[in-house]
Amino acid sequence: MDHLKPGDILRNRYQIVEVIGQGGMGCLYKAADLRLEGRYTAVKEIQPDPGSTAEGREQDRRQFQREASILARLDHPNLPKVSDFFSENDRDFLVMDFVPGVDLRQAIDQALRRGEFIAETQVLEWAEQLTAALRYLHAQNPPVLHRDIKPANIKLTPDGLIKLVDFGLVKLLSTDDNRTITVVQGRGTALYTPLEQYGGDMGHTDVRTDLYALGATLYHLLTSMPPAEAKQRFLSPRALRDPRDINPAISDRTARAILWAMSMHPDDRPPNVVAFTDALFGKGMLPPRRLAGTGRGAEFHTLHESRDSTLAQGNVALAILAAILMVVALVVTVAAPAVR
């Protein structure tokens, strides 16, 4: 299906200026609001699944409209405001505030060109704003999951405000049966996606899915290197490097909190964004040092290391016992003539 072109007008109001992003399900456009002079919007276009039936497309549209109405009620300083949604020419559109500035993927590239890392204090300042946005999203009824947190989806405005953008991959967490339903269909980005999200609509995702992606994003920001993908980590549990091996300036607490959030199994991660925030900023407990970030796969190695340690301790005890017995035998041998 053809993309919209500069000059095209949607709903007699939004005039396309340029394409600012695109993917398999549609495009993101910058558009001028013809009713409010000088205002620009970001218009997310969602194209229908070409393999879907007419009935399926109508169901998808009704679902999109229901869920987009929930997104339009969100209001937080670190989120772009959704101002409109509509369907036109067999496509669905979501209209949001256009956020000026650079995204954090560009910030990483700028740091690489300078030959330096982004300062931890700066990354933590951004993290404070991001966790505030997630606390707000996850506190909705039903909770709202982003499911595609990554540096390219985080904008830094000229006045230093962080905005978590691209609502094209948000999910709503249903409270009645604990399943998730997709808004605008999305699978996330592999480098920042936990294993449970690869199940698509059949996979179970919850707030801990966003925590994994946030941890992976902070890892990338602090090291200028993307983390190993979850699928690679499943096959090779030690594929994820400790971020301090890449950037020794990272503090122990920050590294451990990030690795905790990136644990492979959801049950090994912080239970919610509040627990992660407390761990990251020194207000809460961290997991055991050896388990932070290892997940189930590497726990296997940890258990074996523990077993080996136990065996070693047992060997030491046996050696001590043997030494004691030798001393007793020696004493008995020396004392025997005196007894006779």
What length is written for the chain?
340
Q: How much is the pLDDT for 245?
A: 97
What's the CATH fold of domain 9-97? Phosphorylase Kinase; domain 1 (3.30.200)
Indicate which residue of 148, 166, 206, 268 is catalytic: 148
pLDDT computed for residue 172 by the predictor: 55
Residue 146: Cβ-neighbour burial (10 angstroms; 0-12, 13-18, 19+): buried
For residue 70, the model assigns a pLDDT of 81
Topology at the third CATH level for domain 102-297: Transferase(Phosphotransferase); domain 1 (1.10.510)
Does 9-97 match 102-297 in CATH topology?
no
pLDDT in tens, 215-268: 999 999 999 999 999 999 999 989 999 999 999 999 999 999 999 999 999 999
Distance in angstroms (rounded) separating the CA atoms of residues 134 and 185: 20
Rounded Cα distance, 227 and 149, in Å: 14
Q: What is the pLDDT of residue 25?
A: 67
| 177: annotated active-site residue | no
Task: Name which of 175, 169, 265 is nearest 212 in CA terms.
Answer: 265
And the tokens for 148?
Answer: 């595609």
Q: How confident is the model at residue 175, as a pLDDT?
A: 44
* Domain boundaries along the sequence of the chain: 9-97, 102-297
Q: How many angstroms separate the CA atoms of 102 and 126, rounded?
A: 13
What pTM was estimated for this model as a whole? 0.78
The predicted structure's pLDDT at residue 181: 36
Please, what sign has the CA dihedral across residues 13, 18, 21, 24?
positive
Nearest to 227 by CA among 172, 149, 165: 149
Structure tokens, 115: 């030959």
The number of C-alpha atoms within 13 Å of 292 and in the hemisphere containing its C-beta is 21
pLDDT of residue 126: 98
In the predicted model, residues of the chain with pLDDT beneath 50 are 168-169, 175-187, 201-202, 291, 294-312, 314-316, 318, 327-328, 330-334, 336, 338-340
Alpha-carbon gap, residue 266 to 284, rounded angstroms: 19
